[in-house]
Structure 1
Amino acid sequence: MSTPVQLPLEQENVLELAPGLRALQSGGPVHRVRMPQGGEAWLVTDHAHVRNLLDDSRLSRNNPGSAAADGGAALLASLLGGFATDHARLRELLEPHFAPERIAELRPYVEKQTGQLLDSLAVQEPPVDLREALALRLPLQVMCEWLGVPQEDKDRFGVWTQDAANVSNPVWSKQGFDGLSGYCRQLVAEKRRNPGNDAISRICATDGITDDEVLGLTVLLLFGGYETTVARIGTCVLLLLAEPGQWAALADDLDLIPNAVEETLRRSMPNPHNGGMPRWALADFEIDGVQIRAGDFILLNVIAANHDEKAFAEAGRIDITRDAAGSLTFGYGAHYCVGAPLARMQLQTVLTQLVKRFPDLHLAVGVDQLGLRHETLIGGLVDLPVAW
C-alpha cells in the first residue's frame, strides 16, 4: 500500500479545492490519509460513494475511543455524551421544531433583524467587512430568538460557541463547551419553571425528556446552527460576487434566490482542514475494491463530493440556474441535517434583502487577498470586505 497522504493539504485559494485533494479525487474515490493529530483514516471523495456512505448503517457517527478522531468532533461527542449517539431519538425530538410552520413563524423576525443590520451597513463608508457587519451577527440573534435565549446574553453565547469550535486550542475549546453547557443547564431549569414560545420550552414539554437530554440538544443546536450559518452567509455572498455576472443576474431576477442558495451551498467553501464528516466502520466491507475493516476511521468529504464532475458538470463554476438538488451539503438520507430549513431561510432572507438594497455590491479586495479561518472546525472566511 502506498504511503498515506498527510492532511491537511495545502489550500492555495479560498474558492478552490486544495490541489492535492483534487488530485486525490482524480485518482479514485478512496484514499489512505494521515491525520494531523496522528493516526490514519480512509478519505472518500467522490459524490456517489459519499452519498451512499452517509446513509450506510455499517458506519457510526461516534467512537470516542478512536485516537484518529478529529479533536473538535471527538470533544463534541464526549461532552454531549451517549445521547448524541442515539440518532433516531435525536431526530424524532428535533424534527417538529424545524417544521415549516415553525420556520414561517420565525421568518418575520429574521427579515426584521436582517433589515436593521443592513440599515447599519448602509450608513458606513465602504469598504465594510460583511462578515463582521452581517454574517457574525444575524445567526446569533436568530438562534437566541428561536431557542429562547435572552438577547442580552447573546454576546456571551457567541464567544462560547466560537471558542468551542476552536480546533487549534483544546483548552479554549473545552472552556467554550463548559461555558455553553453551564449556561444552558441554567436556561433549561428556567424554561421548566417559566416556559415560553421558544424551541427550548417546547423541547422541555416533550413527554419523558430529561434535563440532560434537553441540555444536549440545546448545546448541539447552538454549536451546529451558529458557526455553520456564519460561514455559509460569507461563502454564499463571496461565491456570487466572484463569479462574473451572477450577482447582476440575481438582481435582475429575484425568483432565482432559492436556486442561488442551493448552488452556493453545493459549491461551498473549501475547509482548510481537508477532512470530512467523521465515521467509524462497524463491520468489514469494501469501497470500490478497497477493504475497510471494523473500527477503521473514515472521512466522508462532502465538499470534494460536491465538486465531483461526474455529478455536476463544470462543478467548480457557480451557475444560479443549475439544478443543485444532488448537493450533499446538508447530508443525505437518515443523516440529512434537520436544521437545513432554518439555514436555508436565513440565507434566502439575506440574499433577497442584500441584492435588493445593494445591486452594485462588489468585492473590495481581490479573492487572493481573502483567507480561510484555520482555527475553527467549520472554516469560513477571515473577513469579507465589500463596497457598493
Structure 2
Amino acid sequence: METTAAFTGLECRDCGAAFDAGEATHQCPDCEGVLDPAYDYDAIDLDREALASRPFDSLWRYEELLPFSRESAVTMGEGATPLVDCPKLAAELGVERVLVKDEGRNPTGTFKDRGQTLAVTAAAQHGATDVALASAGNAGQAAAAYAGRAGLDSHVYLPARSGFTNKAMVNVHGGDMTVVGGRIGEAAAAYEEGLAENEDWYSLQTFVTPYRHEGKKTMYYEIVEQLDWAVPDAICYPTGGGVGLVGMYKAANEFRDLGLVDDRPAFYAAQASGCAPIVDAYESDRDVHEPVESPDTICGGIEIPDPGASPWILEAIRETGGGAVATDDPDILDAAIQVAQHEGLEMAPTCAAAASGAWELAERGAFDGDETIVILNTGTGNKEADVLRSHLMSQGI
C-alpha cells in the first residue's frame, strides 16, 4: 500500500490490538471491533505556517494526518468547503457568532464524499474490483461516484424511502442499485446477504471500513483554520451513525496534541425525537445505547436505530463537555426553512437537525451568550427540496 510516513497501521477501538493496514482491511480480526487509523505523531512535522502556505483546495492538504498521500488518492477535490457567517442566526440563538460549515458544496452534494475518498482509495490499494454498502442515500451516491472514478464496480443497497436524486445518481454513476422495501435496517440486511454471496465484494459500510471517519475528521481541521486558529465553543452535528462526530473528535485531539491549538470544542449530537438512541443513552448516563425498536422520523439520514459506535460518540460528547439533544420533525423542517429564508443556505431535513438542536440548546440556556457556535450542514437541501416545500405547503404557504 502507498501510505504516508507517519501512518503506522490500524488499532482496534475495542480490544486495543494493532494490525498492518495491508493485511487488515475492515473490522478487527480478533473481536470484530472498529479499527481506527493510527499514526506516529512524533514523526509529524506540521505547523500553522506550513498549512498557510498550501492552497485551500481539498481535504488532501492534510495528508500528513491521513493514511494515504494526495498522489495516490481517488479524489475529486472534496473538502475545502466554506464556513459561512450567519449573523441573523446568531441573534436568534442569542450568541455572539454562528457559522455553518456548508458540506453541500462537495462533489456529490454531501460530506459523504470526505469518507468515500478515503474508503475507495483504500479499496483500490487493496486490489478490490467491486465495492458494496447499504445506505440511506447520500453515502450510496458518493460511493458510486468515487467507485466510478476509480474504475471499480459498485453495489448499493438503498431503502425505498431514499430520495429520487440519490437513486437516480447511483445509476448515473454506473452503480448496481438494489432498492429494498422498508427502512435502512432492511437495506442493511439485504446488503449483508449480497456480501455473503459475493466474497470478492469490498465493503464500504460505516465503521466496517476503517477509513470513512478518517476522511470526515478533516471537517474539524478546516473549521479551525477558517476561524484563524480559534477553536469554536461548540459544534452541533446531526447524528445518526456518528461517523463525522467521532472523526472530528479525533481531529480535535490531534490538533491539540500536536500543539496547533490549546483547546477542544464542546461537541453536541443532534438527533430527531423519532430516533434518538444517543440522546437516550446520554440522558440515562449509559456508556452504550439501547436500540430503538420503532424508529420514525422524516430525517432518513440519521434514522439509525442501532449505531455501532455509540460508546465512541458518548465519549466524544462527554469528554468535551458537550451533550445530546433531540427535536421533533416539524421543528427540524422549520429550522431548515428558517436557515434558508434568513441566511440563504440550503439544508436537507436530516442536516437541519443540527440547526434545530442548536435552537433547542439555546432555549434550554446551554449558552451564555458570548459563544461561537458551528453548525454542520452535512448536505445540500436541493436533494430533498420536495420535502421542505411540502412542509411549507402544509402550513398554507
Q: Which TM-score tier does this pair reach, normalised by the shorter chain?
A: under 0.3
Query: Rg larger in 1 or in 2?
Result: 1
Q: TM-score, with normalisation over the residues of structure 1?
A: 0.27
Higher helix proportion: 1
Greater relative CO (CA pairs within 8 A, separation 6+):
1
Structure 1 or 2: larger strand share? Answer: 2
